[in-house]
Amino acid sequence: MDLERHSIKLGKRPGLVIVDVVKGFTDPACPLGTDCPDVVEANRQLLDAFRARDLPVFFTTVIYRTEDIARVFRERVPALNVLTPGSDWVKVDPRIAPLPGETIIEKQWASSFFKTDLDDRLKAAGADSLVVTGLTTSGCVRATVLDGLQNDYPVVVPREAVGDRNPDAHAANLFDMHAKYADVMSLEETLALLPERE
């Protein structure tokens, strides 16, 4: 039997959190990467819409500056070790390059909230809800969505703007997030929810 759930939608000032749409995840030449031009394009459309409305935008990337950070995570997934400060893999995909003044949050674990100042920055920007996008659905996107909820933000996930190396994991995690943690909807529906510029 399905749990009863209520759609919360977005508030008056949603923030866009683009999770790890960096070269290491969008370039199949990287061991962490996959070819996902449709996901990048959906994120570009969302970025355009948020920028046009002067709504807060945040990017995340994963960077390991010392050997001891996230030691267990890196032992479990050794490919993460390519994400070093001087590597091109940690740079936001140029198709959605941040504009001057837009924030890039450095993280070392799955959630964009864990041991970062994302929540403080969202509050400072007046964000009252979140649109969470990016890579990968079953990993860092799901972890960020869950922590978004746990920080009391209504969360929307546009299904075209998230992706995963594993299609089955992608579908299962979208189902699970929608059941408990977020409103999973189409890109078109998400864009329709955005408030007009004041």
Query: Which residues are known catalytic residues?
Result: 140
Distance CA 166, CA 113 (A): 24
Residue type, 164: D
Q: Which two tokens stand for residue 77?
A: 């997934």
The distance from CA 176 to its chain's CA centroid, rounded to whole angstroms, is 17
Q: Is the peptide bond before 133 cis (omega within 30 degrees of 0)?
A: no
The two tokens of residue 192 are: 């329709």
Residues 82, 30: Cα–Cα separation, whole Å: 8
> Closest by alpha carbon to 185, among 2, 177, 172, 50?
177
